[in-house]
């Protein structure tokens, strides 16, 4: 059986930034808080690569293995048969999209394929012969590698157009790398306003925070505190006070995007982070709904608005608790905790949860608060949240029943 794919990084200088790193002034080129070698190691591991080898420099990342020559690469792979061998300069921008394609069977070339001066892909069968040739020629950079492989195997096959890595060789490349990394953080489940208003703001905040020591979990706590701080403003019936609370609620939503963005940028996803983000968001909603209900009750001198508040709070927390029990509790970390539903978007439960994750309703809160009418939103939430919770339970039960009915048929068919 073939082993996992192997990534080999060449530390020979290329471009002004590469020469700067090789001269010792910078051990690694840092993009958005993470060095390129570190990013390549972590992204390759996430994409299923077996290991990452660095030729020509001491590895500053524990998971990277420093080797001195192609002969040492061949010796390390002796007896193994990697699924394929990927070779790139150490200044490559590692991105999940093309790394996952290289790690998959669809990327297997007959002999070798290349994206000129950025990436070379060797088939498992040709890798031993290629490594011998590269060792004999002492190929130190990617152009030399390409020349040696062309002499050995003939012209390279073209890589898929979807495999389009970026090598960082100039300040302009650095800016393009930042744009590509930030653009990859936009989620397909983002609502219209989230995509066009909140996400652009949160991405710029994350870009500024990425080089700092602020962690994703710290950002989660900050966003939770900002959201909770908005709650007491809804105890007043004055439009100015409610508007201030609504804007803090909106600020919470924007900052809530930063924790996940920082986690994905710096490969710091964790189970704790996922749980903190999930329950913190629901806690903020509960506080906002409760304060709206109390404020409305105080304004009219009646207790019945508290019933709508209770419906909104318990409906939101009840459905959150069910989702946590059904989806999150046995998952290992970060965004992967929703894998069981997000990987099957055609399922009714998945569509319902995706729709609920789109928080465009916050803009309705802001609009109503401008006129001191946030209680109108509470009416909707007090009725809608329990209905939503019941719908989630019914859809989950229906999916479980359908799955149970389908298993015997599948077994019989086998």
- CATH number for position 24: 3.90.550.10
Residues 240 and 288 grouped into a single domain = yes
pLDDT above 60 for 15? no
What pLDDT shows up at residue 237?
Answer: 94
pLDDT digits (tens, 9 = 90+) for 110-159: 889 998 889 999 988 888 899 999 999 988 899 999 999 999 999 999 88
How far is CA 52 from its chain centroid? 21
What pLDDT shows up at residue 47?
Answer: 87
- C-alpha span between 3 and 109 (Å, rounded): 17
Selected residue with higher pLDDT from 34 and 357: 34
- CATH number for position 385: 1.20.120.1760
Instruction: Among 122, 137, 171, identify where a domain stops.
Output: 171
Residues 107 and 204 grouped into a single domain = no
- C-alpha span between 134 and 149 (Å, rounded): 8
What pLDDT shows up at residue 337?
Answer: 44
Is there a domain that residue 135 lies in? yes
Residues 229 and 360 grouped into a single domain = yes
| Average pLDDT of the residues in 321-336 | 65
Residues 285 and 149 grouped into a single domain = no
Closest to 156 measured CA to CA, from 169, 165, 147: 147
Spatial contact of 168 and 17, defined as CB atoms under 8 Å apart? yes
pLDDT above 70 for 354? no
What pLDDT shows up at residue 24?
Answer: 43
Is there a domain that residue 178 lies in? no
What pLDDT shows up at residue 93?
Answer: 94
Residues 106 and 217 grouped into a single domain = no
- C-alpha span between 91 and 18 (Å, rounded): 7
Is there a domain that residue 180 lies in? no
Phi-psi region of 15 (alpha: psi -120 to 50; beta: other; left: phi over 0): left
pLDDT digits (tens, 9 = 90+) for 88-107: 999 999 998 888 888 765 55
Closest to 58 measured CA to CA, from 103, 27, 80: 27
User: What's the Rg (C-alpha) of the chain?
Assistant: 26
| Average pLDDT of the residues in 173-192 | 89
What pLDDT shows up at residue 342?
Answer: 42
**Block residue for tokens 């293995």:** 65
Spatial contact of 284 and 252, defined as CB atoms under 8 Å apart? yes
Instruction: Among 171, 199, 222, identify where a domain stops.
Output: 171
Q: Containing domain of residue 323, as a range?
A: 185-409
Instruction: Among 171, 206, 241, identify where a domain stops.
Output: 171
What is this structure's pTM?
Answer: 0.83
pLDDT digits (tens, 9 = 90+) for 389-400: 888 888 777 877
What pLDDT shows up at residue 357?
Answer: 55
Selected residue with higher pLDDT from 388 and 340: 388
What pLDDT shows up at residue 406?
Answer: 63
Pairing verdict, β 119-123 and 166-167: unpaired
Residues 97 and 221 grouped into a single domain = no
Residues 375 and 322 grouped into a single domain = yes
pLDDT above 60 for 181? yes
What pLDDT shows up at residue 344?
Answer: 45
Is there a domain that residue 414 lies in? no
Is there a domain that residue 179 lies in? no
What pLDDT shows up at residue 64?
Answer: 78
pLDDT above 60 for 414? no
> Residue 280 — pLDDT band, cuts 50, 70, 90?
very high
- C-alpha span between 354 and 189 (Å, rounded): 6
pLDDT above 90 for 249? yes
Residues 16 and 65 grouped into a single domain = yes
Residues 234 and 295 grouped into a single domain = yes
């Amino acid at each position: 059986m073939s082993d996992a794919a192997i990534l080999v990084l060449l530390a020979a200088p290329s471009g002004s930034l590469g020469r700067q790193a090789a001269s010792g002034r910078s051990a690694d080129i840092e993009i958005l808080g993470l060095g390129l070698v570190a990013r390549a190691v972590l992204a390759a591991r996430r994409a299923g690569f077996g290991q990452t080898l660095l030729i020509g420099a001491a590895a500053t990342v524990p998971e990277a293995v420093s080797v001195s020559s192609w002969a040492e690469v061949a010796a390390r792979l002796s007896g193994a048969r990697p699924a394929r061998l990927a070779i790139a300069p150490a200044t490559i921008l590692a991105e999940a999209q093309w790394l996952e394609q290289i790690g998959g069977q669809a990327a297997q070339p007959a002999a070798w394929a290349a994206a000129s001066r950025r990436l070379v892909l060797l088939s498992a069968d040709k890798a031993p012969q290629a490594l011998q040739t590269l060792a004999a020629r002492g190929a130190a950079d990617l152009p030399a590698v390409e020349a040696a492989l062309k002499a050995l195997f003939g012209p390279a096959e073209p890589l898929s157009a979807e495999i389009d890595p970026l090598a960082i060789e100039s300040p302009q490349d650095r800016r393009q790398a930042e744009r590509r990394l930030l653009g990859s953080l936009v989620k397909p489940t983002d609502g219209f306003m989230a995509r066009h208003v909140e996400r652009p703001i949160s991405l710029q905040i994350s870009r500024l925070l990425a080089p700092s020591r602020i962690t994703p979990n710290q950002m989660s706590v900050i966003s939770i505190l900002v959201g909770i701080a908005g709650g007491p403003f809804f105890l007043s019936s004055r439009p100015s006070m409610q508007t201030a609370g609504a804007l803090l609620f909106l600020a919470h939503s924007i900052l809530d995007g930063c924790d996940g963005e920082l986690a994905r940028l710096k490969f710091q996803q964790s189970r704790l982070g996922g749980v903190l983000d999930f329950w913190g968001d629901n806690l903020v909603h509960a506080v906002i709904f409760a304060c709206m209900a109390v404020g409305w009750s105080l304004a009219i001198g009646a207790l019945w608005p508290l019933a709508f508040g209770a419906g909104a709070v318990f409906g939101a927390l009840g459905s959150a608790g069910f989702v946590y029990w059904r989806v999150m509790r046995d998952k290992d970390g970060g965004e992967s905790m929703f894998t069981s539903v997000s990987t099957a978007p055609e399922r009714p439960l998945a569509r319902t949860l995706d729709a609920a994750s789109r928080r465009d309703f916050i803009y309705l809160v802001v609009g109503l608060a401008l006129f001191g009418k946030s209680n109108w939103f509470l009416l909707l939430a007090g009725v809608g949240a329990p209905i939503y919770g019941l719908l989630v339970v019914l859809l989950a039960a229906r999916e479980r029943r359908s799955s149970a009915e389908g298993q015997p048929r599948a077994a019989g068919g086998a």
